[in-house]
Amino acid sequence: MLKIVFMGSPAFAVPTLEALIQHPEIEVCAVVTQPDKPAGRGKQMTPPAVKICALEHNIPCYQPEKLKTQEMYDILTGIAPDFFITIAYGKILRQSFLDIPRIAPLNLHASLLPKYRGAAPVQWAILNGEKQTGVCLMKMDAGMDTGPVYARRIVDIDPEETPTTLFDKLSVVSAQILMDHIFDIAAGKIEPTAQSGEPTMAPMLDKSMGLIDFNQDAHALACRIRGLSGWPNAYTFYEGKRLVIHEAYAMDESGSFAPGYIMDLDPQTKSLKIACKSGILAIRSLQLEGKKRMDAESFFNGYRPTGHTLRSC
């Protein structure tokens, strides 16, 4: 029976936790997750999805503000786990904690390492227009996603992919790759391999990233809008009001209009066509400050924006 301490926080980590719980030769002895946080308009204290799952299965759950305390060290050493399994936990473990598991501290990272080390690999892969990403099962070291890799699995990024849809795909793959290899790792049948290639970083997203500039290629802008969807969302300004762009795609048409110029509504796709430095951005849905989200046709019929220019301030 393998003894596991699971560390994770968002819904993305839940399929992996569920897979561990359901295996008859694995005991999830404890879950470590982030503290409850205020969420929604009412700012009600909301538990992480991993905590909810743990409590449903009567698994002890710890939510330390800081992991690197003597209390948590004593708790985890007292459990004497074979593995730590971390996935989207949100904290870096110091070496003294990494030395606790009898076999190894494992991490599931949602990229093809060494590309996109850091907190937001899924969003940055979409932002940068990648065609593929994946999941790496790695042995943690004291660096940020720098440890050697046991296994990797490639996942295609669809042309209309958003962080929400890609997270869903990668959460399933994360559970699969762990369960396919954890017993071989425990038996010493496979060893991790050092990462090779040029590393890139995927830092946390920032609200300031949402402001878009139409003096760019339409394809790059479409990737940016998809990568930022959900949070912080891409936005511009229409007649002095903030305009969030929720869904858009690139068209290879060319024109002589200045970047940001609102051309017209495409009669076939019902998308609002915006001139860019190269190509055209076709907006499917958007949200004007103080209004509800609407499709482009409703916006066009309500505001008759042809001839206006979307601006970055």
Residue 42, pLDDT score: 76
| Residue 144: per-residue pLDDT | 94
Question: What pLDDT is attached to residue 215?
Answer: 95
Q: Give the pTM.
A: 0.95
Closest CA to 127 of 238, 61, 213, 221: 221
Residue-wise DSSP of 20-31: HHH-TTEEEEEE
pLDDT of residue 295: 98
Contact 79, 104 (CB under 8 A): no
Find the angle CA(257)-CA(209)-CA(147) to the nearest 5 degrees: 130
Residue 162 CB partners (closer than 8 Å, separation 6+):
126, 226, 227, 229, 230
Cβ-contact 82, 101 below 8 angstroms: yes
Residue bearing tokens 């008859």: 24
For residue 81, the model assigns a pLDDT of 98
Query: What per-residue confidence (pLDDT) applies to 255?
Result: 73
**2-186 and 207-303 share one fold:** no
Bond prior to 232 in cis (omega within 30° of 0):
yes
- Residue by residue, pLDDT tens for the chain (313 residues) are 999 999 999 999 999 999 999 999 999 999 999 999 988 777 889 999 999 999 999 999 999 999 989 999 999 999 999 999 999 998 889 999 999 999 999 999 999 999 999 999 999 999 999 999 999 999 999 999 999 999 999 999 999 999 999 999 999 999 999 999 999 999 999 999 999 999 999 999 999 999 999 999 999 999 999 999 999 999 999 999 999 999 999 998 877 899 999 999 999 999 999 999 999 999 999 999 999 999 999 999 999 999 999 998 7
Looking at CATH, the fold of the domain delimited by 2-186 is given as Rossmann fold (3.40.50)
Backbone phi, then psi, for 52, in 5-degree steps? -60, -45
Superfamily of domain covering 207-303? Formyl transferase, C-terminal domain (3.10.25.10)
**Among residues 226, 195, 101, which one has the least CA distance to residue 93?**
101
Where are any strands of DSSP class E within the chain? 2-8, 26-32, 37-39, 44-46, 61-62, 83-87, 104-109, 132-139, 149-156, 234-238, 241-251, 262-265, 272-275, 280-288, 294-295
Domain boundaries, the chain: 2-186, 207-303
